[in-house]
Structure 1
Amino acid sequence: MSHLQHKETFLDSESGTNWRITLSNDWDVLGPFPIHAREQHFLSPSYPLNLSEPIDFSEKWPSAYADGGEVAWGTAQSQNGTLKVSYPHIRWASLRSTEGWAALQHHNVLRTSITVYPPSESTGSTEPPHLLIDLQQGSFFALRPSDTGGPLTDYIPQWHAGNIYTIDSASPHTVSLPVSPSATEATVYDLFVSGDYEIRLFGDPTVTGSDVPTLTITFDVEIEEPLSSVLEAESHHVLPDFIDNWAFGEAVGVGLRSSGGWWTVDDIVLTSSDSKSFKLRLLENTRIAPGQTRIVPLTVDQQDRFTEESIELEVHLTSSSGSKTAIQITLKPRQVSQWDTGSNEYQTFIATYFYATSTPTAFVTVPPKQTGPDGTKSPLLFLHGAGVNVLTTPSWGCEVPRQLQSWIVLPTGRTSWGLDWHGPSTEDAWLSVAALSTILESHSLWSSWGFSKDARVLLLGHSNGGQGAWYLAERYPDRILAVAPAAAYIKSQAYVPFVQSRSAHFIDPTLRAILETSITPDDDDLFVTNLVDTPVLAIHGGADENVPTWHSRSLVDTLKTWDRRASVTFKEDPGEPHCYSAAFGNDQVQAFIDQNINQHELPLDRGSLSSFTLTVAVPGESGSLHGFKVLKLTTPGRLARLSVYTDTRGVHITPRNVAIFSLDIKAITRLQGQLLFIDGHLAERAVRRDTLVFARDGSGTWKIFIKVETTLDVSIQPSGRISRILSSNGPLLFVIPDEDNQYYAHAAIRLAHDLDVFHKLSAEILNDAEASKRLEKGTLGTGNIVTIGNSGNVFTKRILSHGSTHFKLSNGSLTFHDKSIAKDVSSAFLHPHPVSTSSLLLVLYSDDKGGTEKLLRLFPIRTGVTVPDWIMIGQKADSIGAAGVEGAGVWGNDWSWNEGMSFI
């Protein structure tokens, strides 16, 4: 069949350029193709098409879902920018009868057209415009010159990540047209979208009475004037509540977006008040790239009440060319009275702090009804479900009720989805609790309501937050009093299994195993050993339509398998759905909270302990259990377990895959051990130390690290998977080559955009010369770094010259183990940071733009993308996914070669 003559919707430009665009309402649709939940990050988003070739709309393509094994092009029509795609002729019920939810996962290629009309001869600018594009619930999109029937040999699609989770406050992508439009006639561009159906995004169709899954995406496009200017991004403002006229937190953020040009915020002036008792100060100069949205960090300096209804300020900026401008910003603080101590009402207040030293971040608090002579009891840390924005919807129908003497802390997890409460989402949770303690302590009005910054928490969560509650409690058991997860799933691959994976039909099993080590640290069932001594109340609705009830049952089963005496209770509420008010609002849950809340800060105050096992995958993402902590693994990439039991002789420790571990000396006292045995051998005991650090000597004997005083003196294993790059001590720094700056700048801006949308993580973009100059001057900072490009990136070249890993440069080419890597193979690998041992550098190295595009899609924006410490990916990945990976692995200790966890 030939593709349609499209109907069009006119979208007027609001920029005043008189450029106009139309978006076709008619779409060509190809699918469905079986994939697993994150496979589109390895496959080409246009799979099975090659967009550098003309498209034959009469061609059929193999698909295991279709009767006869082939699918053809079809059509669909959007309504007001929303497109729904379904395939009622596919026998979904039959597929589902054997494969379950995994059978619903599928990939589609969607195509329509955008037409750009030039301005009239007498008015408007003839400079090519750029587009503002917002794709909701689609994976990726790309623009292509119109299909003229001939090959597009020079065309490399630049894929932009869609806002697949429909996260609030997301800026649109700024997209340059792939070729300049005609100044005299209409120019047509093809728009391609990777549409991927996921059960987590779209739900189970049987809930609405259908067997047929329906993909729903929303697409919006506007023209923006291509002028160098900066705009207010009101959706990105961060502001604390003012309680009785006092700021509930020191962090304020102003959202700004560059519509063109490179800008640096270098000063702010408060214009709303001449009062010397309330000031806002610029925390640090903030650079904004073209099309980038950033939150400018301001800190509050308040000496007296601030009673005004608005904060007027002027933001001063300087462009890369030296020109200056100023933007007037009005912030509207919420002025509220201090909490009501006699009400059961679910009162919420927004507090702020600086995440990663300089990123203004808000969280929600629910105050207790009363305080005691020593302040309040330990706080409740509540983790919300996927898609819940606690800043705008702090009460959503299945939250925990206000408590008598405990604060409830509701962190954002960075955004409404975050990283499934892993990585930066975990850090945000802990930092929000500490920030509230600091805020309460900072002011006499609130100090009597405070709690210790080191107080343990009672952890709760619902849905994705229920999974997150299992995750945090297992990784940081000594920081937890008790945990009550509700409607939790076990892990991503249990939620939507990988059984329909395309890659699985081609991949070497060893390679698959090594790739999947990058999601092992997220598998909650593997780490329940760490909770055998923690009170657990698992909650689940018996008729949950979103997360199957068996997930909680299975986690409880696994925990009891480790220890039949484990303090775990399963509360299944018959007939209840995924979210219901009685999930936490009932006597049993409240009794559980009341029984376990206290102010004890020592990690070793639970009953008489006789045995336990600490399980760790990535030491940098794990805390201690009863004072025992794993600092380094013998073989990174594999699980480490530290088993401890006591008898009449003393304390016996059996390390498995553990290179270095520490223990709090109070743990030995609490366990009443007179002697310490490691691997059956009597171990030495150091006196006058609170912490003992053990490592094997050359003969394999466990010895105390005499040269260290505390665990802070030991360099904890830094890597384990590429997603570690997201856990940064400051804004991420993207370093691009000076040559061909425009393409690499756009690549970095796309990643910075994704970091903002998915995680509200701050990023700065520098060219290689400036990054090298900062390194020489000692002003590079300790934030994680991402370099993009090849040997033409001077900063990358300088970093690799140190020979810190097995990736090196030789005669302008990348080598691995001193062997040249083929030009059509692209590499991403973690590398030591040039300044800080606690920070990381990620190299994205490719000799061509097509390879760079593959690496950009593997950047760890979402959970479940299986990328370990290093990976080399070839062209075949476009059609066979992860099977097109040429090499992958996990670094050994001190960035050494790790034979057992490497594949080439």
Structure 2
Amino acid sequence: MPLNRLLRPFLLCFITFLANAARLRDEMVPLGQEGTPPSFSVSFSSAWQILGPFQAGSREAPWGADPLEFFGGFRSLQCDKEARFRSSLGIDGTVGWSLLEGETVNANAFGSSVSLPVNFENPGLPLQGVYGWAARQYQAWARGQFSIDTEQDLPLIVYSDSILEFWIDGVHYFGGDFYSFRKAPPVIRLGPGAHTVDVRLVYDVRAMGGGDAPFIIAIELASGSLEVASQGIVMADVVDGSLASSLASVTVRNNKAQDLEILSVEPSLNDSTTTVTLKSSVVVAAGQTRPILFDVKLSDTTTPSISVRIKYRQVSPASFPSFLEVSQTLTHRSIYEPHKITYLHPGSILSYAMLRPPSKKAVQDSSENEKFPILLAFHGAGVEAENDLVAHALDRTSDIKAWVLFPTGVTTWSGDDWHNWGFADVEVAVNYVPKWIEAVGWQGPAADLQRWLVAGHSNGGQGAWYALTHRPSKIIAAAPLSGYSSIQNYVPYLLWQPMDPQRSAIRDGALNSYRHELLLENCKGIPILQQHGALDDNVPTYHSRLLSQLLLQANGTSRYYELPDKGHWFDGIMATPQLLDFYNQQIGKIPGDQELQSFSLVVGSPADTGSKGGLRVTQLETPGQYGRVDVVFDEVTAKYRVTTSNVLSLEVDDQRHSSGLSSITLDGQDLNKLDGTVLHQEDKMVLWRNTNGQWKVSQSSLLRWLILALRTRFHPCVRASKSCRHISILSLNIPVKPSKSSRNSKKVGNKQPSSLLRSGRQLGAMDAILRTRGHFTIQYQHSEASGIALQISRNLYQYFYADSAVVEAKTQADHTPGNVITTSIGGDVHANSHPLFPIKLSSSGLSIQEAGGRTREYGGEGGLSAIFLRPLPDERLELVVWGVNRESLAIAARLVPMLTGVGQPDFVVMRRDCLWKGVEGAVAMGFFDHEWNVTKTAVLR
């Protein structure tokens, strides 16, 4: 063979290597650092055009409710000082254009920012005496420009402090950074010259306080590739020579226009004391921010810091690996002082809490095999748990016989006010304590994970109310301090755009689980101490006074202290003399519902409400309405008389009752006589109410096979036609034993049977999507939907630190352990695992099957869009975000859960007019029942 033919493959490989090496060299020099173009600069215009103010309801903006959309949106309007627009906040009922001088701050070689000191001279002040804080809120619009001086297109990072949405050169960015986190800004590419920015200014009291809104836009030069998006590595402290937990995380942002794959995380070349293991390979989509999880082991725990390097490469076309180095100073603490522990949140992200084990004195005073309860302290909004103000707030209780735990709720705002996402973090932090004991070799008393003493301040005080009303069987006592009663009570929803009462009821029904003032009956038997500063100008004393009154009416046990000369916060607020006495008095007790002979359990959502007195509601008959269980012990018959309202299924734990389940009558039925079944002492049974109102006994395994048998045998005839009446599986009193063939069958029509019944984590309103067990998968089924998928990913990380994989999908992403969000346009939507799901999509519109069997058709005119939950196997969920075109898809995407208090039910169908009508613009909205049928309470027009 000729020599040149032998050498040709090697020459081609060598040439390819040189080309890739040159490209790699360019990629490894980040723009904005060593490779900053010398001519780069960005400057904002000093003059900004302002139009407003207009009415804005608290947390209403995701629904639209922007009056300028009636005219085609602010971006279609030109500044005209003679033009007037109708506004309920205008002095004469109208408002017009004005000019505002932006204040440029932090201008340097890498970027610039502008602050917009908007001040409408308190437009709602005359109304505040009537409507309170709700009247202070407003929305307005601002338009300005920024100029880039450079010779090429560059990747730029856009920060938007206190801003929910904006347009740059006509491109819409929704989600913004309402709490000024600066965690997941969008990455855009712009060339030289002037660029227009339109900003929607939504002044929200809960997010911004009572002063002038600090609206800020910042433009910064990004690196040319992968960069660290937050400071250093999040990892546990070293306590007395042991790493408190091995799990660590670093957040990266992909500034390239191509996807990047994380290949490994390994010790830096000069770090011989650290072992690092990547938890799993990760693809970071172009423009995406993602956390990278890895395990750390230290061979030398005296080392002051660690350094790791992230190995990554471009996915397509594949490139040679590049490296990004990250260092972190280690914090060394005594085992007896508050220190950071890390653990895995159910959403497969790293979270942390501050843990203070029992003191030496408490250990010495303990008896053999004694277990100490958990003293939980919830922080307020905008505060890190590792901040000394939080972590040392209970130093005066140093010798208390308890494990003191300061959870984060994932973010400084606790993700969602200590509710769904944030409360899951609390429970994981509590359950990590035994692992900590093993990791550090603790020899003192163990932790009693079933006994909690709960305290919290401000938003954390509201979190304490949430724990009280949703985990009453675990709470031995609670101290809510300066906490608000509910989202709607904090800043009333009085000034939302008008809507008919049925729509309002559905919106409010989605928030039922967070109305603590309606759930206080759950607190009976639990000692409560309330404390509030009389001069509080952040959370009015009204909230604590109201809850104190309602607790009395609910036969609760509470003491209320109003401190005459104190405001919202002061040093020592978590450890005043009355609180110290309270902690010490209550610490040795057991949960109060153990001894109750009469009590009630009120349930907004069974998915987030635990048991009381051995009873737990597992299904509601009508979701979106409260269910309740009332229990009274009848001394004459020696039976517990249980009555229910709006309860479809109930779990009963007979170990909480001395004489077993035979001592209970449920809505007049003796439990030991149900179907002739004898219930044994060790049983925990699920009871279902059939359509005749009679209760039936069901084992969870039997129920699953019952559903499977009935669906596979009967569903073709159940709904063979629109006139055929639906038969509920719960109305059939058929003793079904799974056949051998059905036991061996794992699927029904190639679908998992567990998706046919709505249960567990799937229950609740649309924010049930946050109960994921694993990272989110955000799939787009049309190239035009990819930008919306990236926006959703950005918002999930910004507001929850949630991790998500953004993927293009041609088929359903059933292989992922977590929940799925699907963005789609027209008819590009895969079939669902539920064969009879009531919402069907097509390229021209959608149809909804009503509760009575009638089908409603909705054409695609008017920018039709929809967002709704669908079932996946294993209690997982899919959130479908759909539109007939990209513009309508963006409207639906606004309602993906992000801010608390928005009130999204299970499904919403809307047209473009919701952008100015708000909730009233929804053409269909409501809830799904236990079989994923549309409930009778839904709005379908």
Interval of TM-score (by shorter of Structure 1 and Structure 2): 0.7 to 0.9
Report the counterpart of residue 262 of structure 2 in structure 1.
265
Residue 363 of structure 1, CA deviation: 1.5
Q: Residues 175-210 of structure 1: CA distance to partner in whole angstroms, max 9, x if unpaired? A: 355xxx5xxxx54322111111222233335xxxxx
Q: Residues 872-902 of structure 1: CA distance to partner in whole angstroms, max 9, x if unpaired? A: 1111112221111111001011211211244
Q: 1:635 to 1:528 in 2, by over 3 A?
A: same
CA distance in 2 between partners of 1:82 and 1:274 (Å): 43
Residue 253 of structure 1, CA deviation: 0.7
Equivalent positions of 1:557-706 (< 5 A) are 557-563=549-555, 566-598=556-588, 606-607=594-595, 609-648=596-635, 649=637, 650-669=639-658, 675-684=663-672, 685-697=678-690, 699-706=692-699
Q: 1:397 to 1:557 in 2, by over 3 A?
A: farther
Partner SS state of residue 324, structure 1: coil
1:286 pairs with 2:282: yes
Q: Residues 485-539 of structure 1: CA distance to partner in whole angstroms, max 9, x if unpaired? A: 00011112111112222x22xx222112112211121111111110011111111
Q: 1:579 to 1:96 in 2, by over 3 A?
A: same
Percentage identity across paired residues of the two chains: 24
Q: Is the 8 A contact 1:109 1:195 kept in 2?
A: yes
Q: Residues 391-436 of structure 1: CA distance to partner in whole angstroms, max 9, x if unpaired? A: 3445389667443132221111111112111111010011111112
Q: 1:288 to 1:69 in 2, by over 3 A?
A: same
TM-score, normalised with respect to structure 1? 0.86
Query: Match of 2:263, as an amino acid?
Result: D
Residue 274 of structure 1, CA deviation: 7.9
Q: 1:679 to 1:605 in 2, by over 3 A?
A: closer
Q: Is the 8 A contact 2:653 2:684 kept in 1?
A: yes
Report the counterpart of residue 9 of structure 1 in structure 2.
none
Q: Is the 8 A contact 2:134 2:495 kept in 1?
A: yes
Report the counterpart of residue 716 of structure 2 in structure 1.
none
Q: Residues 652-684 of structure 1: CA distance to partner in whole angstroms, max 9, x if unpaired? A: 0001100110121122218x9963211123222
Partner SS state of residue 900, structure 1: coil
1:326 pairs with 2:349: no
Query: Match of 1:354, as an amino acid?
Result: L
Partner SS state of residue 886, structure 1: strand
Equivalent positions of 1:198-277 (< 5 A) are 198-205=204-211, 214-224=212-222, 227=224, 229-235=225-231, 237-260=233-256, 261-271=258-268
Residue 704 of structure 1, CA deviation: 1.8
Which residue, out of 116, 124, 132, partners 1:83? 116
Q: Is the 8 A contact 1:461 1:486 kept in 2?
A: yes
CA distance in 2 between partners of 1:375 and 1:611 (Å): 31
Q: Kindly tell me the number of residue pairs found equivalent between the two proteins.
A: 823
Report the counterpart of residue 723 of structure 1 in structure 2.
767
1:99 pairs with 2:131: yes
Which residue, out of 6, 16, 24, partners 2:45? 24
Partner SS state of residue 380, structure 2: coil
Q: Is the 8 A contact 2:54 2:67 kept in 1?
A: no
CA distance in 2 between partners of 1:582 and 1:224 (Å): 43
Equivalent positions of 1:204-603 (< 5 A) are 204-205=210-211, 214-224=212-222, 227=224, 229-235=225-231, 237-260=233-256, 261-271=258-268, 279-301=275-297, 305-321=300-316, 322-339=318-335, 347-356=337-346, 358-370=348-360, 371=363, 372=366, 373-374=368-369, 377-395=372-390, 401-404=396-399, 405-417=401-413, 418-444=415-441, 446-448=442-444, 450-452=446-448, 454-501=449-496, 503-504=497-498, 507-563=499-555, 566-598=556-588
Q: 1:118 to 1:827 in 2, by over 3 A?
A: same
Unaligned runs of 5+ in 2: 1-30, 106-113, 673-677, 706-753, 850-854
Residue 693 of structure 1, CA deviation: 1.8
Q: Is the 8 A contact 1:37 1:498 kept in 2?
A: yes
CA distance in 2 between partners of 1:615 and 1:593 (Å): 27
Q: 1:230 to 1:706 in 2, by over 3 A?
A: closer
Equivalent positions of 1:170-209 (< 5 A) are 170-176=183-189, 181=191, 187-205=193-211
CA distance in 2 between partners of 1:314 and 1:473 (Å): 44
CA distance in 2 between partners of 1:23 and 1:887 (Å): 43
Partner SS state of residue 868, structure 2: strand
Partner SS state of residue 894, structure 2: helix
Q: Is the 8 A contact 2:481 2:531 kept in 1?
A: yes
Report the counterpart of residue 109 of structure 2 in structure 1.
none
Report the counterpart of residue 764 of structure 1 in structure 2.
805
Query: Match of 1:884, as an amino acid?
Result: G
Unaligned runs of 5+ in 1: 1-11, 120-125, 146-156, 206-213, 341-346
Q: 1:403 to 1:197 in 2, by over 3 A?
A: same
Partner SS state of residue 832, structure 2: helix
Q: Is the 8 A contact 1:539 1:570 kept in 2?
A: yes
Query: Match of 1:131, as an amino acid?
Result: L
CA distance in 2 between partners of 1:561 and 1:510 (Å): 29
Q: 1:624 to 1:548 in 2, by over 3 A?
A: same
Q: Is the 8 A contact 1:645 1:652 kept in 2?
A: yes
Q: 1:337 to 1:487 in 2, by over 3 A?
A: closer
CA distance in 2 between partners of 1:188 and 1:556 (Å): 58
Q: Is the 8 A contact 1:398 1:579 kept in 2?
A: no
Query: Match of 2:330, as an amino acid?
Result: R
Report the counterpart of residue 142 of structure 1 in structure 2.
167
1:864 pairs with 2:911: no
Q: 1:392 to 1:781 in 2, by over 3 A?
A: same
Query: Match of 2:219, as an amino acid?
Result: V
Q: Residues 614-663 of structure 1: CA distance to partner in whole angstroms, max 9, x if unpaired? A: 01111111111121100001111110001101012110000110011012
Partner SS state of residue 231, structure 2: helix
Residue 811 of structure 1, CA deviation: 6.4
Query: Match of 1:693, as an amino acid?
Result: V
CA distance in 1 between partners of 2:263 and 2:929 (Å): 43
Q: Is the 8 A contact 1:473 1:483 kept in 2?
A: yes
Report the counterpart of residue 210 of structure 1 in structure 2.
none
Query: Match of 1:895, as an amino acid?
Result: W
TM-score, normalised with respect to structure 2? 0.83
Which residue, out of 791, 799, 807, partners 2:839? 807
Report the counterpart of residue 53 of structure 1 in structure 2.
76
CA distance in 2 between partners of 1:562 and 1:392 (Å): 37
Q: Residues 815-862 of structure 1: CA distance to partner in whole angstroms, max 9, x if unpaired? A: 2234442222100000001xx332111000101222122122211101
Q: Residues 559-599 of structure 1: CA distance to partner in whole angstroms, max 9, x if unpaired? A: 21122xx2111111112100123433222211211122138
Query: Match of 1:875, as an amino acid?
Result: R
CA distance in 2 between partners of 1:366 and 1:317 (Å): 38
Query: Match of 2:647, as an amino acid?
Result: V
Q: 1:723 to 1:47 in 2, by over 3 A?
A: farther
CA distance in 2 between partners of 1:798 and 1:547 (Å): 47
Residue 97 of structure 1, CA deviation: 1.9
Q: Is the 8 A contact 2:845 2:864 kept in 1?
A: no
Moved more, 97-106 or 357-366: 357-366
CA distance in 2 between partners of 1:791 and 1:803 (Å): 20
Query: Match of 1:77, as an amino acid?
Result: E
Q: Is the 8 A contact 2:59 2:204 kept in 1?
A: no
1:887 pairs with 2:876: no
Moved more, 673-682 or 282-291: 673-682
